[in-house]
Amino acid sequence: AAPSCRRYVAGGRCKSTAKLEGKVAIITGANTGIGKETARDLARRGKVIIACRDIAKAEAAASEIRAETGNQQVIVKKLDLADTKSIREFAEKFLGEEKELHILINNAGVMLCPYSKTADGFEMHLGVNHLGHFLLTFLLLERLKQSAPARIVNVSSLAHHGGRIRFHDLQGEKSYNRGLAYCHSKLANVLFTRELARRLQGKLLYFAIGTKVTANALHPGSVQSELVRHSFVMTWLWKIFSFFLKTPWEGAQTSIYCAVAEELDSVTGQYFSDCQPAYVSARGRDDETARKLWNVSCELLGIQWD
């Protein structure tokens, strides 16, 4: 029974052999876990930019990937999603150096942090998981449009089912629970994906007719990763139940699938798990909330994104 149980846990595989010659992908938080495995796979196909806060860790990951894939086009760039200044600097440098961008994978994330704030005073989960990637996508969107067909892939989570967008207390100052804060931020990822897809094509059909830039979200599965490092209990449970958790390689499959699978060329505004469409919570399908979150996010970041 063990092997078949393991196979079930492993979930879907990305079978696409699509090459990304001459194409450029950015992956945030790709120095560890599923981000690193996504980078490793994409490096076998084309040019990969690993955008991370910890440059030393990122360089170690990049040189390992270069050695393994023989691709020297695995480049590390500094990006701290908890600081809008760093996000703007990253985008400015990237736009100055690269003429094209075909794939943006918003993968980095924090989970179960004790209450803390980003450099700009945002609650950490909302700031890094949602607002940081929202701003990054905004700054890179023109380049994605110019390079189209292009794809935006947002790593969300099944945890979005437990989230709600609490506009009256978005920063968790009145009440804070780190588990729920994570859920809220993952719901924000789903709503951002939905509204972004709608705006990129003018209407929420499931085919991108507008800009040829698609946006999809995904649940990677329950993966053995460093994400639970802030919680002793979770770290302990993760160890006990490791047999039932995906490896980072298995967890990366849906991210890779959303980034490269040919059959998703014109699919947008969707949510995937195990390399197939998955169920989105009712809150994750609420267009009114998605629009309002978009506007509030723009206000918080001081940007105009129409």
- Strand pairing report for 20-28 and 103-106: parallel
Centroid of chain to Cα 127? 14
Which residue among the candidates 176, 182, 257, 271 is catalytic per the annotation?
182
The 3-class secondary structure across the chain, one letter per residue, is: CHHHHHHHHHCCCCCCCCCEEEEEEEEECCCCHHHHHHHHHHHCCEEEEEEECCHHHHHHHHHHHHHHHCCCCEEEEECCCCCHHHHHHHHHHHHHHCCCCCEEEECCCCCCCCCCECCCCCEHHHHHHHHHHHHHHHHHHHHHHHCCCEEEEEECCHHHHHCCCCHHHCCCCCCCCHHHHHHHHHHHHHHHHHHHHHHHHCCCCCECCCCCEEEEEEECCCECCHHHHHCHHHHHHHHHCHHHCECHHHHHHHHHHHHHCHHHCCECCCEEECCEECCCCCHHHCHHHHHHHHHHHHHHHCCCCC
Rg (CA), the chain: 18
182 is catalytic: yes
In the numeric block, which tokens belong to residue 287? Answer: 């267009």
Would you name the residues annotated as active-site residues?
Answer: 182
